[in-house]
Amino acid sequence: MYRYIRKSMKPFIAFSFVSMLGAVSVVFMAYIINLLVETITEGKFENFIWIAVLSFVYVLIDSYLDYAVDVVNERLTQELMYHIREDLLESIESQSIVEFEKLGRDYYLNMYTKDLETIESDYIKELLSMYNDVWVFILGFVSAIVISPLFAILMIGLSSLPFALPYFSRKILGNAKLNLSQINEKYLSLLTEIFDSFTTLKVYDVFPLFNKRLRSKSRDLVEAKVYVTHTNKFVYAISYGLRMFVNVFSWVLGGYFVLNHSVTLAVFFTIKQLTQYVAYPIQGFGASYTEVVAAKSVKDKVFEIIDQRKVNVVKEESNIQKIIFEDFSVNFDEKLIFQHLNLQLEKGKKYLLIGESGSGKSTFLKSLIGSIPVENHSLKFQLENGKLLDSSELEKISHQISYIGQETSLFQLSLKENISLQNSITDSEFHALCKQVGLEKWADQSTEFDSILSTASGGEKRRIDLARLLFFDREILLFDEPTAGLDSQNRLKVEEVVKQLENKLIVYSTHQYDEEFMQQFDYCLEIQDGSIVMRAIKA
């Protein structure tokens, strides 16, 4: 957390200073009480008026400082959260596709929604509250000791009893919150699955069956939340009992000292008030500490991801000349897809990848972008400069590979920005790309996402994919069944664009082709029983 404080130094300095002033203002209340009680007991009415005016001024100042403390606390909290979110995103961005998909989208969504909220409310805000409590405690303790050392020490000792409570409760509270986070993640995963497949579930009228699974997880979520509340309230109940004990017996102890003329009534009320500024911070510190300890496991989970952030990979400038498969094997979802495959793909050649549905066409292509792990470093990339990189170094050359999957990724951006993915692109380049892929009618229309892209058909989305691929102009172009589900007009447009591509290494996967289309390719790669048979198409 110290690294984020260093990044938020100005808000931290403001918070530290204002919190100290707030603590001074809180403790000053004890001196106001001392003056009032002393004036009343001595019958000095002439002093009472100016003390009353002083009290009014004090209330105004204290109210403002109470407001100021809350504002600077929130400012520092949000600055810290900003940097945590940024580092988390950068860490996720630095992961390989395999690493990201190992934990999955729902894991990170839960982290951004539930876990970061826990860090903000139960960790950072409670830490700042503890800092405020420390200042009040120090000022209250020093003031009490100066006024009446023995009486103050006895009162403070009595008030410190609840401080040991968090030590005994931190493990059970931490486990309860971690369990809630894990169950919430599973529930969100199922919910996302249902929403993503809404049409399918509706068409086949199977919502009740899938809702049954969701209800089961929802019930687990109910029990987990109740258990967190139960453990929290159980700890707070014990804390409340100790607080009441401290409150009652502080009056008993104070009465004894006053009756024995060890302290005056005014001093008793002053010490009593100052003791609250010692005891309540201790109790508040204990409650905050309980929350911090309980949230620490969630914080550690998030910071573990952040600490895995990789340094920037130095990209290879030399272009890929060959992709070499040596004893290439892939296991995916506990199923052997490819075994002992030996193959070479060369730049400047076009490869048509065919095979039955489920034979491994998508797996083959995804292994080339690092989405599917391969065994024994059996996938290698030969560069123009003679270097030979294996799949573990794929990030060094990922900028040379473009991939069109079976789903189009669209963002809440203009068409122009969706094509360039927010890279710089001139109007002339944009219009030329739109014309090349058949999106001319969109080029001059509204740039708002909702007005155009949200209503795009499958064929129009695929044309956006093609424009994106042409804009980035990379050396290796991978197509994963780009015409699946398209009508003949859109299919022909895709095939026309592929035909125009030259001096690239192209792998085009499909189950829908004819003899004329095949003639565009140099080789056919046919997947058969975990192997690939390569045969020449062009003489």
Examine residue 423 and state whether it is found in any structural domain, yes or no.
no
**Does pLDDT of 243 surpass 80?**
no
Judgement on whether residues 4 and 126 belong to the same structural domain of the protein: yes
The average confidence (pLDDT) of the chain is 84
Judgement on whether residues 234 and 202 belong to the same structural domain of the protein: yes
Mean pLDDT of 170-194: 81
Query: What is the pLDDT, as a whole number, of residue 203?
Result: 60
Examine residue 277 and state whether it is found in any structural domain, yes or no.
no
Q: Beta-carbon neighbour count of residue 302 at 10 Å?
A: 21
Q: Please state the domain count of the chain.
A: 3
**Does pLDDT of 167 surpass 70?**
no
**Does pLDDT of 506 surpass 60?**
yes
pLDDT in tens, 274-311: 767 776 777 677 778 888 888 899 999 999 999 887 77
Judgement on whether residues 199 and 175 belong to the same structural domain of the protein: yes
Of 302, 101, 103, 96, which is closest to residue 186 (Cα–Cα)? Answer: 103
Query: What is the pLDDT, as a whole number, of residue 49?
Result: 83
* Local structure of 291: helix, strand or coil: helix
Judgement on whether residues 205 and 76 belong to the same structural domain of the protein: no
Judgement on whether residues 90 and 236 belong to the same structural domain of the protein: no
Q: How far apart are CA 414 and CA 516, in angstroms?
A: 36
For position 57, which CATH number holds? 1.20.1560.10
CB-based contacts of 419, cutoff 8 Å, min separation 6 = 425, 430, 433, 464, 467, 468, 471
Examine residue 122 and state whether it is found in any structural domain, yes or no.
yes
Q: How far apart are CA 405 and CA 481, in angstroms?
A: 7
For position 488, which CATH number holds? 3.40.50.300
Q: Supply 398's token pair.
A: 């990922």
**Does pLDDT of 120 surpass 90?**
yes
Report the sign of the C-alpha dihedral through residues 200, 201, 205, 209, in that order.
positive
Judgement on whether residues 139 and 40 belong to the same structural domain of the protein: yes
Query: What is the pLDDT, as a whole number, of residue 457?
Result: 82
Examine residue 370 and state whether it is found in any structural domain, yes or no.
yes
Query: What is the pLDDT, as a whole number, of residue 509?
Result: 92
By the 8 A CB rule, do 270 and 34 touch? yes
**Does pLDDT of 320 surpass 80?**
yes
Examine residue 66 and state whether it is found in any structural domain, yes or no.
yes
Per cent of the chain over pLDDT 70 is 92
**Does pLDDT of 451 surpass 60?**
no
Instruction: Give 405 or 244, the one with higher predicted confidence.
Output: 405
Mean pLDDT of 196-225: 78
Q: How far apart are CA 89 and CA 85, in angstroms?
A: 6
**Does pLDDT of 449 surpass 60?**
no
By the 8 A CB rule, do 79 and 150 touch? no
Q: For residue 525, what pLDDT band results from cuts at 50, 70 and 90?
A: very high
Examine residue 286 and state whether it is found in any structural domain, yes or no.
no
Judgement on whether residues 160 and 227 belong to the same structural domain of the protein: yes
Query: What is the pLDDT, as a whole number, of residue 160?
Result: 65
Query: What is the pLDDT, as a whole number, of residue 52?
Result: 86
Judgement on whether residues 102 and 186 belong to the same structural domain of the protein: no
Which of 63-72, 140-149, 208-217, 247-256 has the highest mean predicted lDDT (pLDDT)?
63-72
Mean pLDDT of 352-359: 87
* Local structure of 425: helix, strand or coil: coil
Examine residue 385 and state whether it is found in any structural domain, yes or no.
yes
Judgement on whether residues 349 and 477 belong to the same structural domain of the protein: yes
By the 8 A CB rule, do 186 and 103 touch? no
Phi, then psi, of 356 in degrees rounded to 5: -65, 160
Report the sign of the C-alpha dihedral through residues 198, 335, 368, 494, in that order.
negative
pLDDT in tens, 381-397: 999 998 999 888 888 88
Judgement on whether residues 330 and 301 belong to the same structural domain of the protein: no
Phi, then psi, of 328 in degrees rounded to 5: -70, 125
Q: For residue 134, what pLDDT band results from cuts at 50, 70 and 90?
A: confident
Q: For residue 452, what pLDDT band results from cuts at 50, 70 and 90?
A: low
Examine residue 32 and state whether it is found in any structural domain, yes or no.
yes
pLDDT in tens, 67-85: 999 999 999 999 999 999 9
Judgement on whether residues 44 and 119 belong to the same structural domain of the protein: yes
**Does pLDDT of 483 surpass 90?**
no
Which of 104-118, 137-151, 164-178 has the highest mean predicted lDDT (pLDDT)?
104-118
Enter the pTM of the model: 0.71
Q: For residue 460, what pLDDT band results from cuts at 50, 70 and 90?
A: confident
**Does pLDDT of 423 surpass 70?**
yes
Judgement on whether residues 134 and 159 belong to the same structural domain of the protein: no
Structural domain boundaries, residue 232: 149-262
Q: For residue 143, what pLDDT band results from cuts at 50, 70 and 90?
A: confident
Mean pLDDT of 262-267: 78
Instruction: Give 224 or 245, the one with higher predicted confidence.
Output: 224
**Does pLDDT of 524 surpass 80?**
yes
